[in-house]
């Protein structure tokens, strides 16, 4: 029983990271009906932004909460700026083109970021500094959690709550929901659709940056291709929960994280990546709209 509970704690921790990345996929899809395949690479940029910020501040040599928080803020701000630039210079010019054009653009941006990362950061893996000194905390019944896992869980919950507050209670959140229903009607109501789309990209990129830094805390090996597999799994998590549905992205991320850790713990680490695609096939066969998604008929 203690082993199951330990795996559950580990799975929820990983799942919360997947949920943060999946939220970016689902928000952009909800607004633009675009699958932003470059989103996993923003996660990589977040880890590298935090890496260079921590070296600049000296957070690795003299770790303390204030420096760790500053590194976190810098990484999110850097990736928010990257999201702004990507939307403005890559996606906005093809916004009125076909979905296929936008999809090809997303793949192109993803390849650009990955290979640009190799050029700028180097192909060799970097080791993220220990800006939070790790130690174990006992939860009882033989279950332990590290302080880094606690930080991952606490920050993820805080960011998800902040996102929910923005979407439900603020004017910009209401505008996001209006744009997700109909661009033309939202524009007629005085909403700047362009600004809302840009804001959505910035917000999603900041969440991906947070996920990148949180993962680097626990797994300090970072490299330019580190975003490919987590990005794909987060995309599957978004589809699993119902892409375009924010609570669904959180649910899908948690299911993905728990399933992955359980497979590693009880079956074999070999199938760690395969479980994501098994879940994708099952959900597409059984419930194509996702766990919390609704089937919407498209006009032709």
The Cα–Cα gap between 11 and 260 comes to 7
Per-residue buried b or exposed e for 143-178, using 16+ beta carbons within 10 Å of the residue's own CB:
bebbebbebbbebbeebbeebeebbeeeeebebbeb
pLDDT in tens, 77-104: 999 999 999 999 998 888 888 888 888 9
Q: Residue 32 belongs to what H/E stretch?
A: helix 2-32
Give the pLDDT band (50/70/90) at residue 300. Answer: very low
- Kindly state the tokens that stand for 264: 């590693």
Report domain extents, the chain. Answer: 1-130+137-286
Provide the mean pLDDT of the chain: 87
Strand partners, 126: 222
What's residue 38's pLDDT?
87
- Kindly state the tokens that stand for 202: 């910035």
pLDDT in tens, 105-136: 999 999 999 999 999 988 889 898 888 888 88
What's residue 298's pLDDT?
56
Mean pLDDT over 38-64 rounds to 88
Q: Does domain 1-130+137-286 have CATH number 1.10.3470?
A: yes
Select from 188, 297, 280 the least CA-distant residue to 232: 280
Return phi, psi of residue 135, to 5°. -155, 155
Residues 6+ apart with CB under 8 A from 86: 38, 42, 109, 201, 205
- Residue 125 burial (CB count, 10 A): 14
Residues 6+ apart with CB under 8 A from 60: 54, 129, 130, 131
The Cα–Cα gap between 11 and 15 comes to 6
What's residue 296's pLDDT?
62
Select from 88, 280, 60, 67 the least CA-distant residue to 201: 88
């Amino acid at each position: 029983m203690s082993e199951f509970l330990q795996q559950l704690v580990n799975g929820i921790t990983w799942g919360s990271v997947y949920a943060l990345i999946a939220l970016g996929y689902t928000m952009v899809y909800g607004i633009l009906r675009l699958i932003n395949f470059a989103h996993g690479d923003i996660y990589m940029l977040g880890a590298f932004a935090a890496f260079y910020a921590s070296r600049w501040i000296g957070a690795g040599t003299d770790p303390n909460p204030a420096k760790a928080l500053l590194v976190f803020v810098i990484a999110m701000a850097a990736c928010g700026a990257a999201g702004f630039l990507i939307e403005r210079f890559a996606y906005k010019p093809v916004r009125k083109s076909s979905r296929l054009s936008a999809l090809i653009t997303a793949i192109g941006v993803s390849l650009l970021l990955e290979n640009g990362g190799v050029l700028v950061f180097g192909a060799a893996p970097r080791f993220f500094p220990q800006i939070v000194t790790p130690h174990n905390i006992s939860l009882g019944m033989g279950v332990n959690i590290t302080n880094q896992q606690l930080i991952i869980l606490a920050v993820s919950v805080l960011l998800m709550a902040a996102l929910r507050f923005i979407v439900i209670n603020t004017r910009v959140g209401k505008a996001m929901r209006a744009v997700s229903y109909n661009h033309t009607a939202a524009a007629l109501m005085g909403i700047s659709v362009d600004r809302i789309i840009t804001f959505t990209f910035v917000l999603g990129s900041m969440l991906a940056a947070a996920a990148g830094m949180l993962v680097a805390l626990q797994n300090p090996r970072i490299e330019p291709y580190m975003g490919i597999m987590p990005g794909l799994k987060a995309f599957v998590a978004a589809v699993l929960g119902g892409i375009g549905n924010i609570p669904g992205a959180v649910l899908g991320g948690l299911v993905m994280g728990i399933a992955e850790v359980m497979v590693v713990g009880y079956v074999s680490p070999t199938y760690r990546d395969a479980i994501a695609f098994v879940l994708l096939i099952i959900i597409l066969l059984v419930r194509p709209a996702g766990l919390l998604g609704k089937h919407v008929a498209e006009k032709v």
